[in-house]
Amino acid sequence: MELQSVKLRFGIIGNTPALNRALEVAVRVAPTNLSVLITGESGVGKEVFSKIIHSLSNRKHEHFISVNCGAIPEGTIDSELFGHEKGAFTGAHDKRKGYFETVNGGTIFLDEIGEMPIGTQARLLRLLENGEFIKVGSSVVQKTDVRVLAATNVDLPKLIQQGKFREDLYYRLNTVPIFVPPLRDRKEDIDVLFRKFASDFAEKYRMQPIRLSDEAKEILNHYRFPGNIRELKNIAEQVSVLAKDKVVGKEELAKFIPTNEVSTLPILSNNKENNTSFSDRELLYKMIFDIKSDLNDLKAFVWKMSNGNYDSSSIDFSDIKNIEHHPSSTTNLSNNQQIHPETNNASTIIINEKPIYEEESVETNLSLMEMEKNMIIKALEKHKGKRKDAALDLGISERTLYRKIKEYKLED
């Protein structure tokens, strides 16, 4: 059977290669009795593929039933699928047939197979291998001839690694895999699907069908559609009923797109000033946090020295280019706490051969604002008031430095 006739028969719209490939596999496997595992995100239409397979199979005149494994409580799913005997459990007042017995000769579609409990998976594996099952509360083995189609929107191999899904059942179900692509990978089909849904709702509500402007189509094409076709259909219905104009523009359509997804749309901005400010802020924040980290290390260093627990290997001065020993730095230290040049610890730190930070007393209540102010003052002193060089040394822009100088009243 040609794909076009299958699409017309089952109302499938689209012509992307991935969709056509999935349909080709479904049509070829339909006449067989092989188990099929249909994978894809929620809302892509996996159940439609199960109906295609059943309708084109030799079982098309027999029963077809769709079962959502995630919607049945764990305590009753065995009874629902395989049936139970009277008195098998509390509330089992009568004997009951399960789906596999009722659909004998037909097809059963197990949606959300990844939600099936481990115990039920063992029962299903036995049925797939030899067509046998046992009702809950019974010891009699029964036979059934049912073709099983399964679907999932989760990663079954990952569940296998977590011990939540049987590996042998996975390979038994995955005899023929079919992957249904998400709507975001079928961008050329989005506009066609929207027009089809809009036409259907116009007929349903007896109104004129809406159309999208070119800008609105772009917004729709760039939306990720986490709910896939189901979500597109909902959006088409909302727009059809609530839109003020029959030609919907991008501003009107944006009202119906979830706000948490609007940020994924491409946005062009020519505001270089805003970009620069954001970059400067990032650099400034980084500088402040670096200062805070260095201050904490310095506090720890002083505390260790005051308690006689100084260990030169615990302090990393690898980022300092040049370190010189200042004779006066050891005058207030005991014999076992003297700092030597080879220990890479000194009270005078020299960068680019010019000392910029002299030994200072550390106050435990020193704020980040004060530290930042001192950094700016010393950078300006180092470069003799040349703000451009000072800004470069501090790793911030000149504009940010000017603003900080004004904020801390350092113009003088």
Does a structural domain hold residue 37?
yes
**Alpha-carbon distances, residue 392 vs 27, 67, 376, 389, 398 (angstroms):** 67, 67, 11, 5, 8
The residue among 139 and 264 whose pLDDT is bigger is 139
Q: Are residues 287 and 320 in the same domain?
A: yes
* Mean pLDDT, range 19-24, rounded to an integer: 96
Q: Give the CA diameter of the chain.
A: 101
- The CA distance from 259 to 255, in Å, is 8
275: number of Cβ within 10 Å: 11
User: 158, 181, 204: which is the final residue of a domain?
Assistant: 181
Q: Does 202 reside within a domain?
A: yes
**For residue 76, what pLDDT is reported?**
92
Are 9 and 141 members of one domain? yes
User: What CATH number has the domain bearing residue 35?
Assistant: 3.40.50.300
Say yes or no: 247 and 381 in one domain.
Answer: no
Confirm whether 22 is domain-assigned: yes
Greater model confidence, 295 or 100: 100
**In a shared domain, residues 321 and 391:** yes
Looking at the 3D structure of the chain, how many domains does it have?
Answer: 3
In a domain, residue 373? The reply is yes
Please report, as a single letter, which amino acid is at residue 190: I
412 within some domain:
no
All residues at 6 or more sequence positions from 210 whose CB lies less than 8 Å from its CB, including other chains: 198, 202, 239, 240, 243, 246, 247, 248
Q: Same structural domain for residues 250 and 394?
A: no
Question: Does 311 map to a domain?
Answer: yes
Per the domain annotation, does 267 fall within a domain?
A: no
> Within this chain, do residues 277 and 222 fall inside the same structural domain, yes or no?
no
- Rounded CA-CA distance 287/397 in Å is 12
Least confident interval from 138-142, 262-266, 293-297, 401-405: 262-266
Q: Cα separation of 245 and 125, whole Å?
A: 56
Which CATH number do you get for residue 220? 1.10.8.60
Same domain assignment for residues 201 and 90: no
* Residue where a domain stops, chosen among 137, 155, 181: 181
Which residues neighbour 335 within 8 Å (Cβ) at sequence distance 6 or greater? none
Domain stops at, among 154, 181, 208: 181
Same domain for 364 and 316 = yes
Q: Out of 91-105, 162-176, 211-225, 389-403, which region has the weakest mean confidence (pLDDT)? A: 389-403
Mean pLDDT (whole number) for 89-103: 91
Same domain, 49 and 117: yes
Q: Residue range 30-58: average pLDDT?
A: 96
Among residues 120, 76, 79, which one has the least CA distance to residue 99?
79
Range of the domain at 243: 184-262
Q: DSSP E strands: which ranges in 96-175?
A: 107-111, 132-134, 141-143, 147-152
Residues 155 and 23 in one domain: yes
pLDDT tens-digit map of 189-232 = 999 999 999 999 999 999 999 999 999 999 999 999 999 999 99
| Alpha-carbon torsion angle 296, 298, 299, 303, nearest 10 | 140
Phi-psi region of 68 (alpha: psi -120 to 50; beta: other; left: phi over 0): beta
171, 197: one domain: no
- 399 in Cβ contact with 388 (< 8 Å): no
| pLDDT tens per residue, range 322-365 | 444 444 444 444 444 444 444 444 444 444 444 444 444 444 44
* Buried/exposed code over 20-59 (b: 16+ C-beta within 10 A; e: otherwise): eebbebbbebbeeeebbbbbbbebbbbebbbbbbbebbeb
- Tell me if residue 192 falls in helix, strand or coil: helix
- From the number of C-beta atoms within 10 Å of its C-beta (0-12, 13-18, 19+), residue 231 rates as middle
What's the rounded mean pLDDT across residues 119-139? 95
**Same domain, yes or no: 231 and 333:** no
Per-residue tokens: 164: 């939540």
Please name the helix (run of DSSP H) or strand (run of DSSP E) that holds residue 96, with its range, or none: none
